[in-house]
Amino acid sequence: MEVQVKDKVCVVTGAASGIGHQIAVTLAQAGGKVCVVDVQKEKAEASAAEVGGKAYLCDLRSVAEIEATMAAIVADFGRVDVLVNVAGLANRTPNESITEAEWDLLNDVNLKATYFMSKEAYKVMLGQGSGKIINFSSHRGSISDGRHTIYDATKAGVEAVTRSFAVSGGPKGITCNAIAPAYVITPMTTHNLENPEWMAHMCSRIPLGRLLEMQEVANLALYLASDKSSGINGQTIHLDGGWTAHE
């Protein structure tokens, strides 16, 4: 089975780095026209050049910037077939120390931007009668270690937003799903690799006995972006090596 997104316009947020970059590469290899949306100018431009796509500089904390970015993409490409909301920030501030500023920052990037990017893409997809939205949750959207409260809350929110767009969009030919990875080796998580105790704990928690690779996440994103996933809607798919299945 060859999974393709040939000539589909694919918008990927957070595509300057990590998982988003790997998804941009994978969608481009599968024939997609990739729009790289990120706040890191040089890295976004390098990523776009690598995949033969176009970079859009956008601070996703700003709804005005989101609206302008999506308008520019539609002006350039005329449509949006796939939106992958990958950009995100993590925190692990103890519950007795979280500040309002930290709460607002994570909420703005992880949850508010996921909604407003989806809203802008959804309006275009409604006109097309088709489209696929793929969001990023985490295993922490449904379980907690007591140290990632804001992150946990934003990812649980992303799962709720996913269900809502799936229900409203389904009758109009638009699907919305979320990927919930556990630990993937990316710039967000590499610092943990130098902590042998942490690694031993993680590998004992994850039945596969290892962290995940970015390509494994990108493979699922490609499948969800392609026509092969046509019956899947409103789901959060755990890509966690079995972590959340483990007692």
Which has the closest alpha carbon to 181: 241, 243, 138, 227? 138
How many CA atoms within 13 Å lie on the side-chain side of 60? Answer: 29
Is 181 a binding residue for ligand NAD by CB under 6 A? The answer is yes
Q: Contacting ligand NAD (CB under 6 A), which of 32, 53, 88, 241?
A: 88
How many chain residues touch ligand NAD (CB under 6 A)? 28
| Least distance in angstroms from the C-beta of 49 to ligand NAD | 15
Residue given tokens 């002006």 in the structure block = 75
How many CB atoms are located within 10 Å of the residue 75 CB? 8
Which has the closest alpha carbon to 132: 172, 85, 81? 81
Is 152 a binding residue for ligand NAD by CB under 6 A? The answer is no
Q: Contacting ligand NAD (CB under 6 A), which of 18, 32, 157, 241?
A: 18
Is 178 a binding residue for ligand NAD by CB under 6 A? The answer is no
To the nearest 5 percent, what fractions of the chain are helix, strand and coil?
Answer: 50, 15, 35
Q: Is residue 223 flagged as an active site residue?
A: no
Q: In whole angstroms, what is the distance from residue 66 CA to residue 46 CA?
A: 21
Contact code string over 205-234 relative to ligand NAD, x by CB under 6 A: ------------------------------
Q: Which residues bind ligand NAD (CB under 6 A)?
A: 14, 16-20, 38-40, 58-61, 86-90, 109, 136, 138, 181, 183-184, 186-189
